[in-house]
Amino acid sequence: MPSWPPSSEALRAAFDAPNPYAIGVEDEVMLLSPDTFDLAERATEVLGLLDGDPRFKLELPTSQLEILTSPVPYVTEAAAALLLARQKLVDRAGGLVRFAAAGVHPTSPGVGTLNQVARYERTIRDYGPIAGRQLVCALQVHVSVGNADRALAIYNCARSYLPLVAALAANAPYYQGADTGLASVRPKISELLPRQGIPTAIESWQAHADIFRWGATTGAFADSRTWWWELRLHPGFGTVEFRVPDAQSTVTDAAAIAAVAQALVAWLGER
């Protein structure tokens, strides 16, 4: 990750580095009570059973964990890695909790407790009760490009395809025990926070660096991790990151959505 706020040169270097069209995913999963299937606020306990495995980390809600897969050339490899990680979660939990993946829990009250760790201190402080409503799970798909200027061009073009990806990946029609009438209610919950939805176009790497410098100078956002748009250029991984998909209930569905994102990036990159 470049130092904060990164210069345009540092951003370019980050996006010139990766292999083209490698793919990785971040998979957010819910923890459930094995008896009631309500959300179980036991993420720290479950993480402690995983022997420091870097594939797993805490998320903002205490009822959620995130799985990270390493970058690989093919979606089939990413899917195999995700399946193994989900299996390890189930095996190590040993019945302490069950796991599920969807955009939101269908019957939870909509407010939960949050992990009081350094990464989330400012989010909790700045957004208070709104942060407590972010019991949402996404499938975040990272695709490298290998060339900074091409990555920026792909980002700008891919913005117009986000509604289509959202429609394909919608997996949250029920919320607080009711049919919302939406294919996914998750975006409506997420937009309670700033920097949500379809992002603005970015005309150059200098313009992107200027945005980050403005955020750091004004205190508008703490670092690039709170640049929460549904599509972003991830300076830590040097990837185009699709954040619009809901978490997918099966690995097969997750692989299909990841394949769409990878194919879209490759198609735009070759145009």
Q: Residue 17: what pLDDT?
A: 80
Instruction: For residue range 191-204, list pLDDT tens digits in order.
Output: 999 999 999 999 99
- For residue 135, what are its two tokens? 């019991």
Residue 261 φ/ψ, nearest 5 degrees: -65, -45
- Does residue 60 have a pLDDT over 80? yes
- For residue 64, what are its two tokens? 């959620």
**Mean of the pLDDT values across residues 175-187?**
98
Please state the separation of Cα 101 from the chain's center in Å: 13
Pairing of strands 98-100, 23-32: antiparallel
Instruction: For residue range 99-109, list pLDDT tens digits in order.
Output: 999 999 999 99
Q: Find out whether the peptide bond into 5 is cis, omega within 30 degrees of 0.
A: yes
Instruction: For residue range 36-58, list pLDDT tens digits in order.
Output: 999 999 999 999 999 999 999 99
Q: Residue 119: what pLDDT?
A: 87
- Does residue 147 have a pLDDT over 80? yes
For helices 148-158 and 251-270, angle between their N-to-C axes, nearest 10 degrees: 110
Contact between 93 and 99 (Cβ < 8 Å)? yes
Q: Residue 82: what pLDDT?
A: 99
For helices 75-93 and 251-270, angle between their N-to-C axes, nearest 10 degrees: 150
- Does residue 19 have a pLDDT over 90? no
**Mean of the pLDDT values across residues 116-145?**
94
Tell whether 1 is covered by a domain.
no
Average pLDDT, the chain: 97
Reported as a pLDDT band with limits 50, 70 and 90, residue 227 is very high
Q: Which domain holds residue 266?
A: 8-270
Please state the separation of Cα 164 from the chain's center in Å: 17
Residue for token pair 């205490």: 62
Number of domains in the chain: 1
Percent above pLDDT 90 for the chain: 94
Output the pTM of the full model.
0.96
Tell whether 3 is covered by a domain.
no
**Mean of the pLDDT values across residues 202-225?**
94
Tell whether 2 is covered by a domain.
no
Q: Residue 2: what pLDDT?
A: 81
Distance CA 39, CA 112 (A): 9
Distance CA 161, CA 200 (A): 13
Higher pLDDT, 172 or 121: 172
- Does residue 1 have a pLDDT over 80? no
- Does residue 18 have a pLDDT over 80? no
Contact between 155 and 240 (Cβ < 8 Å)? yes
Supply the Cα-derived Rg of the chain in whole angstroms.
18
- Does residue 141 have a pLDDT over 90? yes
Instruction: For residue range 253-262, list pLDDT tens digits in order.
Output: 999 999 999 9
Tell whether 123 is covered by a domain.
yes
**Mean of the pLDDT values across residues 233-239?**
96
Q: Residue 5: what pLDDT?
A: 93
- For residue 264, what are its two tokens? 């879209």
Reported as a pLDDT band with limits 50, 70 and 90, residue 33 is very high
| CATH number of domain containing 182 | 3.30.590.20
